[in-house]
Structure 1
Amino acid sequence: MSPSPVRRRFIGILAACSALGAVPWAARRAAAMPAAPEPETWRGIALGADAELRIYHPDRRFARDLIQRSIAEVHRLEQVFSLYREDSVLARLNRDGRLDEAPSDMLRILELSAHIGALSGGAFDPSVQPLWTLYAEGLSRNPAWTPDARVLAQTLERVDYTAIHLEGRTVRLGRPGMALTLNGIAQGYITDRVTELLRDAGLDRALVDMGEIRGLDRTGVAPPWRAGLADPEAPGSPLRTVELRNQALATSSGVGTLLDRSGRYTHLFDPHTGEARPRHRSVSVLAPEAATADALSTAFSVMSEPAIHGVLRRTPRTRAWALPNGAGEWRELA
């Protein structure tokens, strides 16, 4: 089953007050530029979905350079994490069950995955890819398909994040037939890397949205951004707003990727039971980094509220909201 682009990716540098010492040629020109320039814009494909980048900066050459560097970073990381490129690092790991001299980005994301897996009691588990395959193949043969209990139990034997072994720069999958998906964390990780690229280029303020949102603000005086939490089936009408500055916001909803037309099954799997019906209609998490927010929103989708509360007590500067099934109002989980 191929990926379904359910929303646009957007990188918007809304008020790019540069620390121009890093780009002296931009500093020479910036004073003569208008205060509110037209954005430099790029449209294309990133992370399997339509993407748009807008850079607001008084130096147009600097803005174009940032666009190209951001695109290059996204494509570089896609080559590591993509499930749908046969030559990606992840595809090689899934095919061979082992990866020698793994790139540092793969090692970092797997280390964070193991941390979130332990923190969430296994609710976040990147080894759920065999469940995706089971459901996708079954539903492609028969839209009324339901998983057989025996087959589901056999598939779950290949799902265990603790069997992902990191030994130096080697990654090894410890069970036959294991396969990983990083779709529950990679968007956040890429958002973090692009944000860091913009910060290192000298930007003081930026808002990055690569499916998950992260704000950068080194001014200390600008107002925070406001992000809307909406019903996933009515994204244009926020039900609640959340303020963020140097934080990240991620949302997970089974409605985003349905595995069958009737909506019985979604892409959010419970690693313990194999069920593909999340407990909550939608979950949003605010955290210091987008990768953490992304992974926690994935985990919280299949966790009970008491279990979520336990995780939040152990994760400083992290907040979460849930839109319950059948409800029309977001509730903060505290």
Structure 2
Amino acid sequence: MRAVLSRRRFLAITGAAVVAGRVSDAAPVARWQGPALGTLAEVRLVGIETPGPIFAAIEAELGRIDRLFSLYRADSALVRLNRDGVLARPDPAFLELLTIARSVHHATEGAFDPTVQPLFALHAKAAAEGRAAQAGDLETVQRAVGFERVTFNPQAVRFLRPGMAMTLNGIAQGYASDRIAALLRAQGQRDVMVNAGEVMAMGQGPTGPGWAVRLPGTEVRLRDQAVATSHRMGTQIDAKRGIGHIFDPSLRNRGRDSFVSVVHDSAAIADAISTASIVMENKLLKSFDSFGAKILLADAKTL
């Protein structure tokens, strides 16, 4: 079953949106758009007159990332891992992303867990059959959930239990924005906005100060920072029963029905924390201050 509305498409409509400055005030901006990880990615570069070579480098890097982390192509490294339970000689970027994921998994006390993919698949199958997932099936599938049962090193990534599978959709889009920003920084670009599903902004933006990004209920200005926004129903698995794409790995918490945005220096970390925040209590979200993250709720409240 295909989701009613993909999370990233949902966010493009109602979540983070970069605000264009007035034409009379704005510096010239080169704009690139293209597919990445199941969404439409966008890059804006201020003051670029001949962007062709830069655009080609962006496309190549996003293609590489897509071949690693996409759930939408049969030849991706992630799909092969889910199929076989092991991925030999993983790309260094795959290991880097899993390392970031593990750090957020620990920081959120397990609320962020990429191994919830079997829960997604179970609910999607039940919804396609016009029914709710059965309690017994949920208990069985939940035994295959647990990021601590994933081992990874330069030799291999392995699942330690049968039936396990991962989704990196709660972190890979942010990671893609980080990677493109790093690529452009290495090429001397200092005034850039990257949105591969989550926004990473560098420099002043076309009108300054910083890049204006509209979020549900508020607007922020980003300069050398990222923002990610999540909502439990960003992808609707079963709209009738209120089943969305973000799950509490412990199955104890249905999750909040509001947007959560996270500002951080890393788009990957912002992405993962915003995902986990959907199933975490407000008092626990305050602990992310020490992680360098600012949490924004849809009512513009800052935790």
Give the alignment's TM-score, normalised by structure 2.
0.88
Post-superposition offset of 1:309: 1.4
State how far apart, in whole Å, the 2-side matches of 1:187 and 1:172 are: 23
Identity %: 36
Instruction: Output aligned runs, 1:140-155, within 5 Å.
Output: 140-142=128-130, 145-155=131-141
Question: Relative to structure 1, is the Cα distance of residues 268 and 58 closer, same or farther in structure 2, using a 3 angstrom cutoff?
Answer: closer
Question: Relative to structure 1, is the Cα distance of residues 173 and 58 closer, same or farther in structure 2, using a 3 angstrom cutoff?
Answer: closer
2:301 is the alignment partner of 1:322: no
Question: Relative to structure 1, is the Cα distance of residues 321 and 212 closer, same or farther in structure 2, using a 3 angstrom cutoff?
Answer: same
Aligned amino acid, residue 315 of structure 1: F
Aligned amino acid, residue 262 of structure 1: K
Instruction: Output aligned runs, 1:95-110, within 5 Å.
Output: 95-110=83-98
Q: CA offsets, 1:158-196, max 9 Å, x none? A: 000000111333111011110000000000000000000
State how far apart, in whole Å, the 2-side matches of 1:226 and 1:52 are: 15
Post-superposition offset of 1:53: 4.2
Aligned amino acid, residue 50 of structure 1: L
2:263 is the alignment partner of 1:286: yes
Post-superposition offset of 1:49: 2.4
Aligned amino acid, residue 202 of structure 1: G
Question: Relative to structure 1, is the Cα distance of residues 111 and 57 closer, same or farther in structure 2, using a 3 angstrom cutoff?
Answer: same
Aligned amino acid, residue 150 of structure 1: G
2:236 is the alignment partner of 1:258: yes
Post-superposition offset of 1:57: 3.3
In structure 1, stretches of 5+ residues that fail to align are 16-34, 231-238, 324-328
State how far apart, in whole Å, the 2-side matches of 1:51 and 1:315 are: 27
2:10 is the alignment partner of 1:6: yes
The Cα RMSD (Å) is 2.6
The secondary structure found in structure 2 opposite 1:73 is helix
1:175 corresponds in structure 2 to 161
Aligned amino acid, residue 264 of structure 2: A
2:281 alignment partner, one of 304, 309, 314: 304
1:202 corresponds in structure 2 to 188
Aligned amino acid, residue 67 of structure 2: Q
1:249 corresponds in structure 2 to 227
2:106 is the alignment partner of 1:126: no
Question: Relative to structure 1, is the Cα distance of residues 247 and 40 closer, same or farther in structure 2, using a 3 angstrom cutoff?
Answer: closer
Instruction: Output aligned runs, 1:215-254, within 5 Å.
Output: 215-217=201-203, 223-230=209-216, 239-254=217-232
2:40 is the alignment partner of 1:50: yes
State how far apart, in whole Å, the 1-side matches of 2:65 and 2:252 are: 29
Post-superposition offset of 1:218: 8.5
Contact 1:152 1:274 in 2 (8 A): no
Post-superposition offset of 1:313: 3.6
Equivalenced residues, count: 291
Post-superposition offset of 1:256: 1.8
Aligned amino acid, residue 63 of structure 2: H
State how far apart, in whole Å, the 2-side matches of 1:208 and 1:152 are: 38
Q: CA offsets, 1:130-159, max 9 Å, x none? A: 0011000000001xx222222111110000
State how far apart, in whole Å, the 2-side matches of 1:49 and 1:307 are: 31
The secondary structure found in structure 1 opposite 2:236 is coil
In structure 2, stretches of 5+ residues that fail to align are none
The secondary structure found in structure 1 opposite 2:233 is helix
State how far apart, in whole Å, the 2-side matches of 1:274 and 1:79 are: 34
The secondary structure found in structure 1 opposite 2:111 is coil
Contact 1:47 1:187 in 2 (8 A): yes
